[in-house]
Structure 1
Amino acid sequence: MTTPRTVLVVGGGAAGNAVTVLLRRAGVTVDLIEARPDWNATTGSGITLQGNALRVLRDLGVLDQVESSGRAFGSLGVVAPDGTVLHEAEDIRTGGDDLPATLGMQRPRLQQILIDAVRASGAGVRLGTTAEALDQDADGVSARFSDGTTARYDLVIAADGLNSATRAAIGITAKPEPTGMAIWRTTAPRPAGLVRTDLAYGGPAYIAGYCPTSEHTIYAYVVEACRDRASIDPARYADEMRRLARGYGGHWAEITPHITDPAKVNYTWFDRLLVEGSWHRGRVVLIGDAAHCCPPTLAQGAAMSLEDASVLVELLTAGRDWDDDLLQRYYERRIPRVRAVVEASVQLGQWQLDGVRDADVPGLIGRTMTMLKELP
C-alpha cells in the first residue's frame, strides 16, 4: 500500500502548529485551517514550559528563539501569603540535563514563533476557516469548509482545542468538566529579584503565583473557587484580581499596582478532560486539548499537547499503513502518561478544595515529574 501523504490539521494552537511543522519536515502535504482570523497571535498572558515541552520545541527547530524570548529558571519557591519563603525545591529536568528545567515566556510570543515555523514549512494555511463537514470512507476524508470549498485528505488531525467541534462531529461524546477552581491571569513588569516561580498557598485565594516571562515581564495569577462567569462584569476584571492580590506580600506588593487594565486580565475555569478508549474515529484523530485537558497545577498542558504531536508524527512517518492499528497505537502510547498528568493535576486542586492539610503534595509532584523524564 502506498503511504498516504495528505493531511488536514484543524486548529492552529501549539499542537496543531507543531504537528504541521513535523509532518512537513517529513515531506507530507499539509493544510492547516484555523477558525480565528488572527491565528490567536495576541491571545493570552504567559506560559510555563518545562523541559519535556522544550524538548519538542527543540525538535521543531525553534528552541533558540524560545530561549532568547523567555526566561529560564531551575527552582520553585513555596512562600507564605506574606511573602516569607518557606521552601525552595530544585525543578526536575524533565527534558534532560541539556535543557533548562523550566522556562517562562509570553504566550503570544510563543504562538508567533510557531506561526512563523508553520509559514516557513510550506504548509497551506487558511485563517478564519472551519471544517463544516468531514465525510469519511475507507480511503480518506472529504472536507467541506466554511467558505464552500472542498478538499480530499488521507488523514484529518483535530487540534481544535478543549471545546473541539471535530471531536463532537466524529461521535466522541466526552466533554470538559469544571474542577471547581478558576484562575485570574495578567501580565506585569518584572520586579527586581523575581527570578523564578513562587507559589503562595492559602490567604484570600487557594493559590497566588507568578512566573518570569522575559528579562522585563512576568505573568501573575490567582486561583480561587470558580464563580458564575455571567456574574462578573468584564469591566471589573482588574478590580477583582487586584482585590485578591492585595492579600499577598513579597513581590506582590510591586505586581498588584499594575493590575489596572481589565482588558489585560483573563478569567477562566479549570477544566478536566480525558477521552478514553481511543482518540480517533476512522481517519480523524484528536491531539492536544481536543483529547485531554487538565488544570495548570503542574504546568504540563502545553507539554502534553506538544508531545502528542511528536509521537503521532513519529508513528505516521515510520512506514506503516495509516490505519486503525496505527492510530490506536498512538492512543495506547500516550494514554498512561497523559492520564497520570491529568489525574495528578486534578488531585492537587482537589486537596485544596477539600481542605486536606496533610496531603503529600511534594511526593505527588515529584513522582509525576520524575515519570516525565522518560521519553514519551
Structure 2
Amino acid sequence: MPHTRSVLVVGGGASGNAVTVLLRRAGLRVDLIEASPDWNATTGSGITLQGNALRVLRRLGVWEQVEASGFAYGSLGVTAPDGTVLFVKEDMRTGGDDLPATLGLQRPQLQQILIDAVRASGATVRLGTTAETLDQDADGVLVRFSDGSEGRYDLVIAADGLNSATRAAIGITDRAEPVGMAIWRAPAPRPASVTRTDLTYGGPAYIAGYTPTGEHTVYAYVVEACRDRNTIDPSLYADEMRRLAEQYGGVWPEIAQHLTDPAKVNYTWFDRLLVESSWHRGRVVLVGDAAHCCPPTLAQGAAMSLEDASVLTDLLTSGRPWDDELFQAYHDRRVPRVRTVVEASVQLCRWQLDGERDADMPGLIGRTMAVLKELP
C-alpha cells in the first residue's frame, strides 16, 4: 500500500490555512496546529485584497464567499487633507480581467471563511497548541507538541508569522526590522459615499486612508512615525486615533465619531523582513510572514503569503522528490517577486519619512503592479 505523505502546518493564518486546504485537496494527510485557542477568528479590522490575492482565493474555492462578504471596487482616489479629491486612477487587475481589481473585507470574515475551508477539507486541527521541538532525519521530522504528545511527519510547513518560533528553531536568524512608521487601524460604519479606497498623503500624519469592507463597514487607518509602544496606554487607543482622524476633512469626521472603543483600535509598527537565504532547513520550510513581510503601503502582504501557499503546493504535488532541490526551487521562484514587493513597499515609506517631494510614487506602484499581474 503506497505511503500517504503527511504534513504538519504550524500556524493558522492566511498562508497556513491556504496550504492546508490545497494539500488536503491533493490527498495528503495534513495536521494544522495554531497557538491561539480561538484561531484568531475575531482579530483585526480590515484587509485590502488585490487581484493576485483573489486569484489564489478562487483556487481555494472560497471566492464566492469572499465576494459576497466584501466590497469590490476598481479605482483609487487621492485626496488633500481637507477632503478635496485630487485625482482618481483605475486599479490594475492583477488577478486577471475576470476578477475585481481590489476587494475590501473585514479581516475576521476572511479568517472565518478560511477556517471553514480548512474544517471542510478534513485536516486535523489542534488549537492552543505549539511545536516544542523538531527532530529531523533524512526522511522526516519528529515533532513534540506543547500538550506532551508527538507526531512524525514527512514535512513541516512553518506558517507561524512574523516572529516565527519555527524559523528560529531551525537556525534561520533573520528577524523583522522596523521601518520607522506605525499604523492605527479600526473598523467603522461605511459612509454612503465611500465606494473605493481614498488616500491622503500629508496633514497631521503621513497617510490617512479608508477602504470599504462591506455594504455597511469601512476599514480606516492613519499612518504616523513610530512611537514607543510602551508609552501608549491601550485604553487610550481610540482617543489617539480619533485625535488624528478628526484633523482630516471629507468623510473623516463621520468616520472619526465612531472611533470610541479602544478594544477595536489596533496600533502596529511597520516592519520589513525578507529571508534571503533558503527558506528551508531539511524537511522544514517557511511560508508567508515567517519568510517575508512588508509595510502595507502596497496592500500586498496577504497576497504574497497566499501566493507562497499556491506555489509550494504546486511543487509538492508535482511528483518530484521532496528534497533540497525542490525546496530551493520554491525559494528561487518566490524571492524575486517577493523582493520586488518588499523593496517597493519600504521605498514608499522612506520617501515619506525623508520628505522626498519629487518621488515617483505612481511610477513605482505601476511598475510593481505590472510584475504582479504575471502568474507567480
CA gap 1:141/1:323 in 2 versus in 1, 3 angstroms: same
TM-score, normalised by the number of residues in structure 2? 0.99
Shift of 1:107: 0.2
Residue aligning to 1:129: 129
Q: Is 1:361 matched up with 2:361?
A: yes
Distance 1:73 1:338 in 2: 25
SS state of the match for residue 211, structure 1?
A: strand
Residues 327-338 of structure 1 aligned to structure 2 (within 5 Å)? 327-338=327-338
| Conserved? CA contact 2:51–2:94, under 8 Å | yes
Classify the secondary structure of the residue corresponding to 2:200.
strand
Distance 1:206 1:158, change over 3 A: same
Corresponding residue number in structure 2 for 1:225? 225
- The alpha-carbon deviation at position 87 of structure 1 amounts to 1.1
The answer for the alignment partner of 1:62 in structure 2 is 62
Pairing 1:160-309 to 2, within 5 Å after superposition: 160-309=160-309
Cα deviation digits, residues 13-53 of structure 1 (max 9, x gap): 00000000000000000000000000000000000000000
Give, in whole Å, the separation in 2 of the partners of 1:71 and 1:3.
Answer: 44
Q: Distance in 2 between matches of 1:37 and 1:234?
A: 22
**Aligned partners of 1:369 and 1:4: how far apart in 2?**
39
Q: How many residue pairs get matched? A: 375
Can you give the 5+ residue segments of structure 2 that lack an aligned partner in the other structure? none
Correspondence 1:40-59 to 2 at 5 A: 40-59=40-59
| Contact 1:3/1:322 (8 A) holds in 2 | no
Find the counterpart in structure 1 of residue 6 from structure 2: 6
Q: Secondary structure at the match of 1:162?
A: coil
Cα distance between partner residues in 2 of 1:4 and 1:249: 59
1:349 aligns with 2:349: yes
The 1-side partners of 2:188 and 2:308 are apart by: 32
Task: After superposing the two structures, state which structure 1 stretch, 3-12 or 302-311, moved more.
Answer: 3-12
- CA offset at residue 296 of structure 1? 0.1
Secondary structure at the residue paired with 2:204? coil
Please name the residue that 1:99 is paired with: 99
In angstroms, what is the RMSD of aligned CA positions? 0.7
Task: Name 2:88's counterpart in structure 1.
Answer: 88
Q: Which runs of 5+ in 1 are unaligned?
A: none
Name the aligned partner's letter for residue 331 of structure 2: Y
Structure 2: distance between partners of 1:324 and 1:250 = 55
Residues of 2 paired with 1:243 and 1:357: CA distance?
Answer: 26
Q: 2: CA distance between counterparts of 1:112 and 1:187?
A: 17
Aligned runs of 1:149-164 on 2, under 5 Å?
149-164=149-164
Deviation, 1:297, is 0.1
Cα contact 1:3–1:320 (8 A) shared by 2: no
How far 1:4 sits from its partner (Å)?
6.3
Runs (4+) of structure 1 moved beyond 2 Å?
none
CA distance in 1, matches of 2:328, 2:3: 18
For residues 228 and 355 of structure 1, what CA distance do their matches in structure 2 show?
22
Residue identity over aligned pairs, in percent, reads: 81
Distance in 2, matches of 1:344 and 1:191, equals: 31
Secondary structure class of the residue paired with 1:337: helix
The answer to whether the 8 A contact 2:157-2:284 is kept is: yes
Secondary structure, in 3 states, of the residue corresponding to 2:86?
strand
CA distance in 2, matches of 1:80, 1:371: 29
Deviation of 1:3 (Å): 7.3
CA positional deviation for 1:253: 1.7
What TM-score do you get using the length of structure 1 for normalisation? 0.99
Q: Deviations over 1:47-78 (max 9, x none)?
A: 00000000000000000000000000000000
Q: Do 2:4 and 2:29's aligned partners in 1 also have CA atoms closer than 8 Å?
A: no
Q: CA deviation at 1:246?
A: 1.0
Is the contact between residue 69 and residue 109 of structure 1 (CA under 8 Å) also seen in structure 2?
A: yes
* Superposed displacement of residue 178, structure 1: 0.3
Equivalent position SS for 1:258: coil
